[in-house]
């Protein structure tokens, strides 16, 4: 691809932290054009055969069967399953193969270099297995899918199957998918649709109309020939059973505007405040066991599969991956695991110009190793022009670059934000796990098996970015490289903020480490960022008090990601989150509104 575009995207994607000065910088009296909340969902009426269906004008039978060139993406609402849709009478089980991906496709660049290489226009090769269960269309392979494309990887999510009048007896499918920029956390959300029966398939229309990334924004769309390979899918019954469990374990949701009805004392418009509408992916508020979720806007209307819209983690991964992995290791194997020395588990430390002789896992998670060039805010972190860490793809070169910093302070005394250190501690945790569980153990898979699965995080989040070794299946990055849907965030925050790291009464996470991260241990606030902010076990925290209108002093732990990813967990048990890509960080209004429901200060 265009080298200039690659460097722009690559550097921007790896800025992961947020300047504390920006956190509350949005004026309290502004509202930057939030999307209208999704209307209250009413149960679909009972099927009445005499009721005529609305005539489809977008993605019609003729358009899908023949060449269709509208010159741009179409309204995303055209991918939604109508309320009066008929059940599909056709079975889908087999492989969907697209034809001509490398030569078909159009693009409109909205932000970034418009002179992209032709490969960026085109989808990676698509040939994947799906099964039908009821009116759901379920991909066999979930999570990040590594492709041979020079720029794009896939994430494929479950869709729907139905029949409509006007489709000549064919069944109609639509399903969400996403393109992730290779080696980065950025993601472009889209949808595919086609018609099929037991003897044939239409062309497939695809489009991506929304993304979460700070430097490159574009619509991609096209129509491709396809082949439906009808064949048994290995493990099809297990796929259906696992998906049924996934649906059953979804966190309860309501549309965000329902907040005003459930809690009349609050101003629901304060949630989502300060985020530019055209840069918003989604936002939500979790309280009393309900996830109040916004709509998912795109440049072409509301996304048809908001529940599966993926947003990048960026640095929220630091809190949820290596931090929770250490908490689980300490609870399962040894409570003294945080005090293990980096040098004992990452031999490359011996070649560092810094001093790692006294640096522990805990120091490294706290961004307080004492090995850095400048204590200035983000000076080391954003040194893209000269530091090779950001351009290295293989483990050996990346770990060498991560250690290539001088000794400047004693461990635990100076906070300096450095994604390099998160990569180091992730490797240390990986090697520590292997010392306990054997050489085949993998630290991210450990997190999935021991934590994600326990709290019913779906398989779409069971993969992570890794180094390029073994076809991008090397060392997990740790500091970034996960993707969230609203359901994931609701479950994680409830697990941390309400269940206190327990599952069905069993303590999964080490309670002391979790209490420190969640600021419920007044004797362990963490390392100073400034006079009002701390950093502890890869979680940020800020203090609020009478100067901001509250009745007491309290701490609010949170997770942050560079583009504008915010996950805030409040002392009253509520959580507020949003994903955006204009580097807007503002949540004080949400803390104030939540306080009206249940005060953050004890009576």
What is the four-CA torsion angle of 396, 397, 401, 403, rounded to 10 degrees? 10
Q: Is 283 within 8 Å of 268 (Cβ atoms)?
A: no
Residue 22 in this model has a pLDDT that exceeds 60: no
Q: What is the pLDDT of residues 432-479, one digit of tens each?
A: 999 999 999 999 999 999 999 999 999 999 999 999 999 999 999 999
Tens digits of residue pLDDT in 38-78? 333 333 343 434 444 558 999 999 999 999 999 999 999 99
Listed residue (368, 350, 372) closest to 359, CA to CA: 368
Q: Token pair of 143, please?
A: 């999570």
Q: Read off the pLDDT of residues 89-139 as tens digits, 9 standing for 90 and up.
A: 999 999 999 999 999 999 999 999 888 999 999 999 999 999 999 999 999
Compute CA 236 distance to the chain's CA centroid, rounded to the nearest angstrom. 27
Q: How does residue 7 score in pLDDT terms, banded at 50, 70 and 90?
A: very low
Neighbour-count burial of 377, counting CB atoms closer than 10 A to its CB (0-12 exposed, 13-18 middle, 19+ buried) = middle
The whole-angstrom distance between residue 489's C-alpha and the CA centroid of its chain comes to 9
What integer is the mean pLDDT of 217-238? 97
How do residues 576-599 score in pLDDT, each as one tens digit?
999 999 999 999 999 999 999 999
Q: Considering only 23-32, 538-547, 559-568, which range has the smallest mean pLDDT?
A: 23-32
- The answer to which of 21-25, 346-350, 500-504 has the lowest mean pLDDT is 21-25
pLDDT of residue 54: 59
Mean pLDDT, rounded, for 164-171: 95
- Per-residue tokens: 600: 């953050």
pLDDT tens-digit map of 480-530? 999 999 999 999 999 999 999 999 999 999 999 999 999 999 999 999 999
DSSP 462: S
Instruction: Give pLDDT, residue 56.
Output: 92
Structural element, H or E, at residue 196: strand 187-196
Please determine, for residue 6, whether its predicted confidence score (pLDDT) is greater than 70.
no
Among 29-33, 208-212, 340-344, which is the least confidently predicted range? 29-33
* Alpha carbon 192 to its chain's center: 21
Is 285 in contact with 594 (CB distance < 8 Å)? yes
**How much is the average pLDDT of 82-89?**
93
Band the pLDDT of 603: cuts 50, 70, 90.
confident
Residue 267 has a CB neighbour count (10 Å cut-off) of 14
d(CA 539, CA 6): 30
Specify the 3-state DSSP secondary structure of 163.
strand
Of all helices (H) and strands (E), which one includes residue 22? helix 20-23
**Average pLDDT score over the chain:** 91
In 3D space, the residue among 601, 566, 595 whose CA is nearest the CA of residue 580 turns out to be 566
Distances (CA, A) of 2 to 111, 147, 316, 348, 388: 15, 19, 29, 34, 20
**142 CB neighbour count, 10 Å cutoff:** 21
Compute how many other C-beta atoms are within 10 angstroms of the C-beta atom of residue 530.
11
Give me the residues paired with residue 44 across strands.
Answer: none
- For the residues 359-378, what does the mean pLDDT come to? 97
Token pair for residue 365?
């998670």
- What pairs with residue 253 in β-bridges? 291
Angstrom distance (rounded) from CA 336 to CA 328: 12
- φ, ψ for residue 54 (rounded to 5)? -65, 135
Which one, of 338, 366, 318, lies nearest residue 477 by Cα?
Answer: 318
Q: Which residues contact 344 (CB under 8 A, 6 or more apart)?
A: none
What is the β-pairing status of strands 253-255 and 290-293?
A: parallel
Model confidence, pTM:
0.91
């Amino acid at each position: 691809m265009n080298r200039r575009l690659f460097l722009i995207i690559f550097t921007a994607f790896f800025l992961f932290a947020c300047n504390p000065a920006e956190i509350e910088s949005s004026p309290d009296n502004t509202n930057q054009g939030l999307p209208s909340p999704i209307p209250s969902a009413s149960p679909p009426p009972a099927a009445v055969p005499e009721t005529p269906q609305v005539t489809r004008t977008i993605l019609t039978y003729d358009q899908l069967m023949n060449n269709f060139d509208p010159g741009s993406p179409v309204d995303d609402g055209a991918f939604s399953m109508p309320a009066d849709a008929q059940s599909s009478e056709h079975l889908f089980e087999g492989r969907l193969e697209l034809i001509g991906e490398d030569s078909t496709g159009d693009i409109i660049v909205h932000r970034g270099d418009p002179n992209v290489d032709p490969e960026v226009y085109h989808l990676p090769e698509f040939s994947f297995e799906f099964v039908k269960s009821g009116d759901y269309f379920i991909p066999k392979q979930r999570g990040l899918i590594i492709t041979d494309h020079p720029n794009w990887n896939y994430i494929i999510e479950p869709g729907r199957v139905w029949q409509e009048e006007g489709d000549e007896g064919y069944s109609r499918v639509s399903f969400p998918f996403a393109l992730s920029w290779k080696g980065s956390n950025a993601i472009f959300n889209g949808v595919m649709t086609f018609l099929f029966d037991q003897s044939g398939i239409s062309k497939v229309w695809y489009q991506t109309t929304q993304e979460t990334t700070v430097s490159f924004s574009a619509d991609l769309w096209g129509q491709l020939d396809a082949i439906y390979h009808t064949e048994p899918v290995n493990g099809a019954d297990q796929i259906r059973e696992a998906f049924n469990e996934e649906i059953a374990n979804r966190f309860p949701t309501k549309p965000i505007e329902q907040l005003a009805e459930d809690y009349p004392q609050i101003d629901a418009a304060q949630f989502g405040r300060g985020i530019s509408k055209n840069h918003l992916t989604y936002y939500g508020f979790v309280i009393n066991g309900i996830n109040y979720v916004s709509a998912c806007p795109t440049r072409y209307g509301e996304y048809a599969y908001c529940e599966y819209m993926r947003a990048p983690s960026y640095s929220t991964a630091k809190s949820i991956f290596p931090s929770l992995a250490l908490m689980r290791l300490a609870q399962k194997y040894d409570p003294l695991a945080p005090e293990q020395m980096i040098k004992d588990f990452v031999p490359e430390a011996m070649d560092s110009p810094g001093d790692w002789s006294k640096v522990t896992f805990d120091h490294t998670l706290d961004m307080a190793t004492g090995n850095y060039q400048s204590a200035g805010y983000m000076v080391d972190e954003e040194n893209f022009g000269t530091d090779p860490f950001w351009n290295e793809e293989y483990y050996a070169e990346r770990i060498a670059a991560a250690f290539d910093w001088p000794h400047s302070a004693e461990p635990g005394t100076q906070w300096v934000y450095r994604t390099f250190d998160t990569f180091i501690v992730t490797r240390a945790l990986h090697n520590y796990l292997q010392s306990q569980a054997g050489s085949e153990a993998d630290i991210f898979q450990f997190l999935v098996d021991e934590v994600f699965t326990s709290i019913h995080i779906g398989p779409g989040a069971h993969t992570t970015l890794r180094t390029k070794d073994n076809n991008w299946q090397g060392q997990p990055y740790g500091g970034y490289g996960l993707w969230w849907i609203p359901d994931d965030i609701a479950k994680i925050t409830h697990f941390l903020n309400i269940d206190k790291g327990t599952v069905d009464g069993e303590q999964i996470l080490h309670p002391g480490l979790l209490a420190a991260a969640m600021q419920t241990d007044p004797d362990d606030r963490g390392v100073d960022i400034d006079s009002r902010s701390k950093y502890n076990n890869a979680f940020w925290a800020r203090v609020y008090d009478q100067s901001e209108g509250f009745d007491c002093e309290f701490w609010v732990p949170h997770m942050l990601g560079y583009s504008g990813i915010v996950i805030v967990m409040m002392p009253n048990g509520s959580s507020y989150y949003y994903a955006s890509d204009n580097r807007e960080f503002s949540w004080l209004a949400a803390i104030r509104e939540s306080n009206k429901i249940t005060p953050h200060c004890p009576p």
